[in-house]
Amino acid sequence: MITFKDVSKTYAKGGHPALSAVSLSVAAGEVFGVIGASGAGKSTLIRLINGLETPSGGQVIVDGDDVAALGVEGLRALRRRVGMIFQHFNLLSGKTVAQNVAFPLKLAGRPAAEVKARTAELLERVGLIAHADKYPAQLSGGQKQRVGIARALATGPKVLLCDEATSALDPETTEQILDLISGLNRELGLTIVLITHEMDVVRRVCDRVAVLEAGRVVEEGAVEDVFLHPVSDTARRFVREADGEIVTAPGVGGRLVRLTFKGEATYKPVLGEVARVTGVDYSILGGRIHRLRETPYGQLTLALTGGDVAAAIKSFEASGVRVDDLTGEAAR
């Protein structure tokens, strides 16, 4: 649905590039996350998709169109197929909720009757039908973002771009908005690209994620892979931020390993079983049990001592538990 081919973007001539050599592809119907610190180039990346920015090099292909090659009308047509929501909502303060939602339809020149019906339908979907005649200033942050979502959906887009859509919201509201976004993905088959600096957002809704660092994609993959086995330093940092430090074992002897349980294995009494059979002792140094979208997972950092450590590792692996040796990594 969306392809970045070796895309670069430099704002000032000779200046530092905001993006360099970015290649990505987002499949139709998936929720794709882009995570990065502020200044990493996330905003630029998402704005290249609907042509709010133009690439300095490379190509951005969206729904079959090379965005930079589209004329004015072509770009407007594309933008009706690509909705966008914003961190600060960007609603028109002088228009009511209903008028805000109707705005893109009016811009597209749709007949009044259709605008009215479609607006009501969208407000129903986001649960704001009772607030149709209020002004944005009278709404809570979560309600404002719902208006933003309804407005972005007005023209029936295939793609929804979420620019830090939950960063200005409290945790509870964030959860509700993320649920709404996931629901749109499931029910409408909407392709979603979201940028965020919070790994938690990625974990809750994304299928795949790209990690951006200083304008480059340093890691990309299925969320569970990046989350459970981050390779780049940046990805590790984001995972640690979301879950806390799990590798700290100063002065602990034995073999340091990280076990990753996923799906069914999460709930099995694997640890005790293996310890009994192989005579290995373990001390738990850190751990977490969580969910990636619908999949439960657990990670434990253990120091294994005594008995047959090698056999223990084999038995863990045999029960579907991934084992990473951290002995070399503990210094990090």
Partner 1 sequence: MSAGTFDFANVDWSEIGQATLDTLAMLGGSMVLTIALGLPLGVILFLTGKGQMLENRLANGALSLLVNILRSVPFVILLIVMIPLTVALVGTSLGVAGAIPPLVAGAAPFFARLVETALREVDKGVVEASFAMGAKRRQVVLGALLPEALPGLIAAATVTAIALVGYTAMAGVVGAGGLGDLAVRFGYQRFQTDVMIVTVVLMLVLVQILQMVGDAVVRRVSHR
Does residue 104 interact with partner 1 by CB under 8 A?
Answer: yes
Strand-strand pairing, 57-62 and 2-10: antiparallel
Minimum CB–partner distance for residue 249 and partner 1 (Å): 47
Spatial distance between the Cα atoms of 13 and 147, rounded to a whole number of angstroms: 38
Give alpha helix (H) positions in the chain: 42-49, 72-81, 97-107, 112-125, 141-153, 171-188, 199-205, 223-228, 233-243, 270-278, 309-318
Question: Residue 156: which region, alpha, beta or left (left: phi > 0; alpha: psi -120 to 50)?
Answer: left
Q: Which of 94, 127, 244, 272 binds partner 1 (CB under 8 A)?
A: 94
Please identify which residue in 40, 67, 91, 184 interacts with partner 1, judged by CB under 8 A: 91
Q: Which is nearer to partner 1, 106 or 186 (CB)?
A: 106
- When asked if residue 80 is in the footprint of partner 1 (CB under 8 A), the reply is yes
Q: Does 10 bind partner 1 (CB under 8 A)?
A: no
CA 106 to chain centre: 31
Is position 16 an interface residue for partner 1 (rule: CB under 8 A)?
A: no
**Which residues, numbered 150-179, are part of the site for partner 1 (CB under 8 A)?**
151-152, 154-155, 161
Residue 291 found at the interface with partner 1 (CB under 8 A): no
Radius of gyration of the chain from Cα atoms?
23
- Nearest distance from C-beta of residue 74 to partner 1, angstroms: 11
CB nearer to partner 1: pick between 38 and 93? 93
Evaluated on CA atoms 56, 64, 101, 87, the torsion sign reads negative
Does position 70 interact with partner 1 (CB under 8 A)? The reply is: no
- Report the helix count and the strand count for the chain, using DSSP H and E: 11, 14
Those residues whose C-beta lies under 8 Å from the C-beta of residue 104, and which sit 6 or more positions away, are 80, 151, 154, 155
The yes or no reply on residue 204 touching partner 1 (CB under 8 A) is: no
DSSP state of 265: G
Decide if residue 288 touches partner 1 (CB under 8 A): no
Q: Which residues between 23 and 52 bind partner 1 (CB under 8 A)?
A: 50, 52
> Read out DSSP for 111-176?
-HHHHHHHHHHHHHHTT-GGGTTS-GGGS-HHHHHHHHHHHHHTT--SEEEEESTTTTS-HHHHHH
Can you read off the two tokens belonging to residue 127? 């649960």
Task: For residue 137, state whether it binds partner 1 (rule: CB under 8 A).
Answer: yes
Sign of CA dihedral 168, 174, 180, 184: positive
DSSP letter at 64 equals T
Among 77, 214, 311, 323, binds partner 1 (CB under 8 A): 77
The window from 148-156, 201-209, 234-242, 308-316 that contacts partner 1 (CB under 8 A) reads: 148-156
Q: Does 20 bind partner 1 (CB under 8 A)?
A: no
197 binds partner 1 (CB under 8 A): no
Question: Closest separation between CB of residue 88 and partner 1, Å?
Answer: 6
**The only residue of 10, 23, 90, 319 in contact with partner 1, by rule CB under 8 A:** 90
Q: Tell the smallest beta-carbon distance from residue 133 to partner 1 (Å).
A: 12
Task: Note the residues at the interface with partner 1 (CB under 8 A).
Answer: 50, 52, 72, 76-77, 79-80, 82, 84, 86, 88, 90-95, 103-104, 106-108, 135-137, 151-152, 154-155, 161
